[in-house]
Structure 1
Amino acid sequence: MTEVVLGVCGGIAAYKACELLRLFTESGHGVRVVPTASALKFVGEPTWAALSGRPVATEVFHDAHEVPHVRIGRAAELVVVAPATADILAKAAHGIADDLLTNTLLTATCPIVYAPAMHTEMWENPATRANVATLRERGAFVIEPAVGRLTGRDTGKGRLPDPAAIFEYAVRVHKRGLDLDLAGRHVVVTAGGTREPLDPVRYLGNRSSGKQGYALAKAAVARGARVTLVAANVALPDPAGADVVRVGTTEELRKATVEAFAAADVAIMAAAPADFRPETVAAQKIKKTDSGTPSPIVLTTNPDIAAELGASKRPDQILVAFAAETHAALEHARAKLVKKRADLIVVNEVGPDLVFGQDHNTVTLLGADGSTGTFGQLPKDDVADVILDHVVARLDAQVGHARQG
């Protein structure tokens, strides 16, 4: 059982921390809730005690003989602050300890995850950005807030990520510890399947669910990367900490990915873009003919996005392509590896009940350096870490070559 400290700050999103607490306790973790005085104005102490099954720590001088301002932090194996206000980020960055939560943050030696929630102007204020940068430089995990409805009629970046996404992120951070091997890197991940319209109702598409791409985005965030996730028609919750760009067609996917990769270190092309699109799109719904024979649909070839990135990528950029094949997978993948000028290609065999929509994957990794690795059926989260391990190795090799040069 992992000992978790859940710090709750005074923001309207404090009520969402109840769901986060439930996720931790129901998965077997022991949770000590440490709310600020302001947080208790939004959610009362009895609620935290009932949901955690433990007394709630609120004051430095409560049970002073047990020295709670030191003991709680020392005992923690993971600290999660959600919602984290601009105030708590500022205090943590400057080492201010004026209540039990800030004292706990100073004494904890385990991973600390902050899930900010505030108005857009507060999040974008230079003071907040500087505090976030300071915390990240010191090894803290500060999740990028989500974009959405804030208080009142306001909408923008600053919304607390979904509690389930925070929970997944925090569990992954605890599993990896303080190893941030992608810190300072910008990783672009594509996910899902594109749709090419035939008419206002129908489209050409594929079975991709986006699960593997989302697993890659979550894993990269947990390893310290700045992540841009280009999602094509995916019905999954946004991964906590990733900047999500939503697209529909292959051309939209191409435009967003090319733009993001220009300033990125890594592109991982897990999406399944349609190879073809209708040459023309009907302005109205296509009707059945009296003869029952449909008019032929003329297709044209879509651009090869990975090949475009491979042709223009800099020597310090890493490109990971995917090859989803129904037969002769390795043969086709080796040809794609060369054509796309990728550094690594992820190969898997796909079908109606194979990979698409499933929670597990079986992959082979082929490297441009001639390396080959096959990995048996694994959860897609684990497959994501396997792929990122190879990416990190290549990034480290680049750094080593640069130093030698």
Structure 2
Amino acid sequence: MNTSKKNVVLGVTGGIAAYKAADLTSRLVKKDINVDVIMTKEATNFINPLTFEALTNNKVVVDMFEDRKYWEIEHISLAKKADVFAIVPATANIIAKIAHGIADDMLTTTILATKSPVLIAPAMNTNMYTNPVTQKNIKILKEYGFLFVEPAAGRLACGTYGAGRLADVEEIEKAILELLDNEKKRDFEGKKVLVTAGPTREPLDPVRYITNRSSGKMGYEIAKALVERGAQVILISGPTYIEVPKDVTFIPVETAVDMYNAVMMHLNEVDIVIGAAAVSDYRPKEMKKEKIKKDEEKLTIELVKNPDIMYEVGQKKGNKISIGFAAETTNLVEYAQRKLKEKNMDLIVANDVTQKGAGFEVDTNIIKIIDRDLNVKEYPLMTKIEASHVILDEIAKLL
């Protein structure tokens, strides 16, 4: 990773874990990252600013009014300079201030002025961390797009045991490096995206249903990638066994009609629709109220068409961006291009599920992305999270 000339602004607040910020600073500086440190006055009671100045060769900023001639220029300068802004440790007090837009010292003023990703590593007493007020403030910040390295559970300095201990420095360092490395650009900041994922189930009777082999992995990885890049995400998912990604609005559904209704309900509030779900094309005309018995040698079930969700989105989307998927076994590009046009999509992601590593229930994919002009971009085997970012890179060009 090339971290040369990258800039991290590190906010240090008044908690016993403040000494660990020195270890973090040392690690970043050794990777040729420039670190500017802003300390609250309370933090200086736990660790001397001179420690950070020796590690960074930069002046530590504490008092916003120490030099009235330059303070305003300085806080704006640091806000612009930051590629990543990290607060380590973050007390309940600083979290509350940021959540409610209070800017009464150099740290909070600079945070309010920055447009860089802000990474917060909470550290506090367990009862303070689990207090509903603190949890609500954290939720507010996550909705605003602030990023968190969740605290660990363990024995705290106050003698209690529970959540609230600062995450391992290695984990915080890794999160900062990832933000610096992929600059995953937060290019979906301010965008609200609806993602559909997983299969649908169409019940035959109380114990049986028609479904498909979709695991939901692709849609869930897209939802995760969107959160990383700053989007607000509504994830509408058929039944899966995957853990729900953090920081999404999750709407579980069962049938194609359920998914259609959920998508139509939220369509007007989003900017982008990504239809990654494998929606059943047909459903039984009638669901039997009792379990079907195997009395006959043959069983005939009449099926009727389900609503075509992405077609309806294409008819109603207006200026919204819509992206579909085509999982095929033959004539991949031809069928995908036809679907793209028929459903008025902006992009379609096509994959041949007969290819090894590109089918259902695996962690990889081999995709082609087709745009409105029917141009085709081909990509090699990659993980689904890598594929997700490739897809988002193409969507970002349309924003």
Question: Normalization by structure 1: what TM-score?
Answer: 0.66
Report the CA distance between 1:2 and its aligned residue: 11
The answer to whether structure 1 residue 253 and structure 2 residue 237 are counterparts is no
Per the alignment, do residues 229 and 296 of structure 1 end up closer, same or farther by CA in structure 2, a change over 3 Å counting? same
Q: 1:240 aligns with which of 246, 258, 276?
A: 246
For 1:88 and 1:307, the matched residues in 2 are separated by 47
Residues paired across the two proteins, number:
324
Per the alignment, do residues 95 and 232 of structure 1 end up closer, same or farther by CA in structure 2, a change over 3 Å counting? same
Residues 215-247 of structure 1, C-alpha deviations (whole Å, 9 max, x = no match): 111111111111111111122122122111111
Q: 2:383 aligns with which of 371, 375, 379?
A: 379
CA RMSD of aligned residues (A): 4.5
Q: Please tell me whether Structure 1 or Structure 2 has the larger radius of gyration of its CA atoms.
A: 2
Q: 1:267 aligns with which of 263, 267, 273?
A: 273
The answer to whether structure 1 residue 277 and structure 2 residue 261 are counterparts is no
For 2:360 and 2:341, the matched residues in 1 are separated by 25
Report the CA distance between 1:61 and its aligned residue: 3.8
**What is the letter of the counterpart of residue 181 of structure 1?**
D
Consecutive unaligned residues of structure 2, counting only runs of 5 or more, are 4-9, 24-41, 61-81, 123-128, 151-162
Who is 1:400 aligned against? none
Q: Is this contact kept in 1: 2:86–2:120, CA < 8 A?
A: yes
Q: Is this contact kept in 1: 2:87–2:120, CA < 8 A?
A: yes
Consecutive unaligned residues of structure 1, counting only runs of 5 or more, are 4-31, 50-57, 146-158, 396-405
Q: Percent identity?
A: 33
Per the alignment, do residues 123 and 372 of structure 1 end up closer, same or farther by CA in structure 2, a change over 3 Å counting? same
For 1:35 and 1:284, the matched residues in 2 are separated by 63
Equivalences for residues 382-393 of structure 1 within 5 A: 382-393=386-397
Secondary structure of 1:67 counterpart: helix
Who is 1:179 aligned against? 185
Per the alignment, do residues 110 and 70 of structure 1 end up closer, same or farther by CA in structure 2, a change over 3 Å counting? farther
Who is 1:22 aligned against? none
For 2:341 and 2:380, the matched residues in 1 are separated by 25
Q: Is this contact kept in 1: 2:202–2:209, CA < 8 A?
A: yes
**What is the letter of the counterpart of residue 240 of structure 1?**
K
For 1:70 and 1:307, the matched residues in 2 are separated by 62
**What is the letter of the counterpart of residue 94 of structure 2?**
I
The answer to whether structure 1 residue 220 and structure 2 residue 190 are counterparts is no
Report the CA distance between 1:172 and its aligned residue: 5.4
Who is 1:94 aligned against? 102
Per the alignment, do residues 295 and 120 of structure 1 end up closer, same or farther by CA in structure 2, a change over 3 Å counting? farther
Q: Is this contact kept in 2: 1:89–1:128, CA < 8 A?
A: no
For 2:45 and 2:397, the matched residues in 1 are separated by 49
4+ residue stretches of structure 1 with deviation over 2 A?
34-40, 58-98, 101-106, 108-125, 140-143, 166-179, 351-355
Secondary structure of 1:277 counterpart: strand
Who is 1:141 aligned against? 146
Report the CA distance between 1:350 and its aligned residue: 1.3
For 1:352 and 1:252, the matched residues in 2 are separated by 31
For 1:247 and 1:82, the matched residues in 2 are separated by 39
Q: Is this contact kept in 2: 1:169–1:218, CA < 8 A?
A: no
Q: Is this contact kept in 2: 1:206–1:274, CA < 8 A?
A: yes
Question: Normalization by structure 2: what TM-score?
Answer: 0.67
Who is 2:328 aligned against? 325
Residues 4-51 of structure 1, C-alpha deviations (whole Å, 9 max, x = no match): xxxxxxxxxxxxxxxxxxxxxxxxxxxx9x8964999xxxx99xx9xx
